[in-house]
Amino acid sequence: MPDLNPMKATLHCELVFEGAWTTSVAFLGSGRRLAAGNREGVLLVWDLPEQPTKESPAPTRKLEGHTNAINRLVASDDGKLLISASHDKSVRLWDPTVEPAGSAEVIVDSEQREREAKKNPKGAALSKPGVKIATQQAQHVFTGHRAWVQALGMSRDQKRLISGDDSGLVCVWDLATRQQLAKWTGSPANWITSACLSADGQTAFVAEFCSPRGSFDRPPAQVRLFEAATGKETLDFLKVLYPNVKVRDSSYGYATTWGQFVAQGLVAAEFSPDGKLLALAQGGETGTGKVHLMEVATGKLLRSVSGHQSGACDAIFSADGKYVLSVGRDTTLRICQVADGKEVAQLGKPRGGQFKDWFHAVALSPDQQWLAAADISGRVYVWSMG
């Protein structure tokens, strides 16, 4: 696998995906194939052009079934497995390499058409046909969630999956049998904001949060490790970080203390490839939007890196574990060295200086040659790293 060289990032193309916020993105293997989902539940696949282009390539496939926002996408290294988590309370499993089942017309430039129609009301901008593309259904739907599924993670051995919803339910799934291995619930009224599995799928990380409900009934956030097969808690990061603070269900003081670490919820989490570290992104509208690098063995904070003004949205490790890549509401993608926390690259200028709006999700191809960020304005930006 080639080394990731953040300094070589070159904007390759811009995928237009208008109509609703683009919320999730994943590379399908090491080729030039990519999937992205939006807030309306539309999930599309693109085949990226070989050469850099200013023209937006059309999508090639639509994955049908979701009826509400797609929050997270994870994919296998060979690109034969794509899993999506949605506000529609479902987790769906797809093989984007199978023969398509049908076709559909898709319009991905609705906002451009509306602008055109305003300039020329008598023109045919709004009635122009869309792109006809292949469609397919999910191979499997993981059911059992009772609320928005916001958390999703797959073990690096690609044998297990973890998902978490806003009712506090966490499920661990076996991908071969598609059976539920374990489930547990967090604190009452809390939402599962992020979850991930260690490389071998044995350890689960789960973060919980709930927006303020009132000054004395605010439930505490939770940031914990579990045995994935049993749901038995093995480490409480907040207890390690704040040993002198007593956990009480109704403690505002406790909430304000952990608020410095959790911000408005840890919205993204990933184990490093060697399993020694966890990257946790501070989400919601918050001033700092840091990514915490946590030591898995001790629960201690190694360092906080990056910093997305107004909040981070997603964070991942590079495949070689040398870098952590994060995106956020400041419209930037930032790449930091794990070893010393130094930020070595920033793609985009803060607050709309270059790209339009929040970067809601980030993805790196397994061979580290392609990088993508989903912009809520209805764009997916793709960089070549070679």
- Residues 6 or more apart in contact with residue 70 via CB below 8 angstroms: 23, 24, 37, 38, 39, 41, 42, 43, 84, 85, 86, 87
Q: Rounded to an integer, what distance in angstroms lies between the CA atom of residue 163 and that of residue 181?
A: 12
- Which is nearer to other proteins, 190 or 369 (by Cβ)? 190
What residues from 285 to 314 belong to the interface with other proteins (CB under 8 A)?
Answer: 285, 310
Stretch near other proteins under the rule CB under 8 A, chosen from 25-33, 176-184, 196-204, 208-216: 208-216
* Whether 149 contacts 85, CB under 8 Å: yes
Rule CB under 8 A: choose which of 189, 247, 301, 302 binds other proteins. Answer: 189
- Which is nearer to other proteins, 105 or 114 (by Cβ)? 114
Rule CB under 8 A: choose which of 27, 46, 148, 381 binds other proteins. Answer: 148
CB of 344 to other proteins, least distance (A): 28
What does the block give as tokens for 368?
A: 């580290």
Q: Is 68 in the site for other proteins (CB under 8 A)?
A: yes
Sheet holding 233-236, edge to edge: 191-197, 203-209, 222-227, 233-236
Rule CB under 8 A: choose which of 170, 376, 380, 385 binds other proteins. Answer: 376
Q: Is 123 in the site for other proteins (CB under 8 A)?
A: no
CB of 212 to other proteins, least distance (A): 6
What residues from 28 to 67 belong to the interface with other proteins (CB under 8 A)?
Answer: 39
* Whether 262 contacts 223, CB under 8 Å: yes
Q: Rounded to an integer, what distance in angstroms lies between the CA atom of residue 249 and that of residue 238?
A: 14
- Which is nearer to other proteins, 148 or 226 (by Cβ)? 148
Q: Rounded to an integer, what distance in angstroms lies between the CA atom of residue 320 and that of residue 327?
A: 19
CB of 41 to other proteins, least distance (A): 9
Q: Is 217 in the site for other proteins (CB under 8 A)?
A: yes
Q: Rounded to an integer, what distance in angstroms lies between the CA atom of residue 208 and that of residue 195?
A: 9
Stretch near other proteins under the rule CB under 8 A, chosen from 44-52, 99-107, 205-213, 239-247: 205-213
Q: Is 2 in the site for other proteins (CB under 8 A)?
A: no
Q: Is 87 in the site for other proteins (CB under 8 A)?
A: yes
Q: Give the residue among 128, 126, 84, 97 at the shortest CA–CA distance from 33.
A: 97
Q: Is 359 in the site for other proteins (CB under 8 A)?
A: no
| Cα-based angle 227, 203, 239 (whole degrees, multiple of 5) | 75
- Which is nearer to other proteins, 61 or 360 (by Cβ)? 360
- Angstrom CA distances, 145 to 4, 100, 166, 182, 365, stand at 37, 28, 9, 13, 29
Stretch near other proteins under the rule CB under 8 A, chosen from 100-108, 213-221, 297-305, 332-340: 213-221
Q: Is 166 in the site for other proteins (CB under 8 A)?
A: yes
CB of 296 to other proteins, least distance (A): 28
CB of 237 to other proteins, least distance (A): 22
The site that binds other proteins (CB under 8 A) totals a number of residues, namely 26
Q: Is 353 in the site for other proteins (CB under 8 A)?
A: no
What residues from 234 to 263 belong to the interface with other proteins (CB under 8 A)?
Answer: none
Q: Rounded to an integer, what distance in angstroms lies between the CA atom of residue 252 and that of residue 264?
A: 14
User: Which chain residues interact with other proteins by CB under 8 A?
Assistant: 39, 68-69, 87, 148, 166, 189, 191, 210-217, 264-265, 284-285, 310, 329, 357-358, 376-377
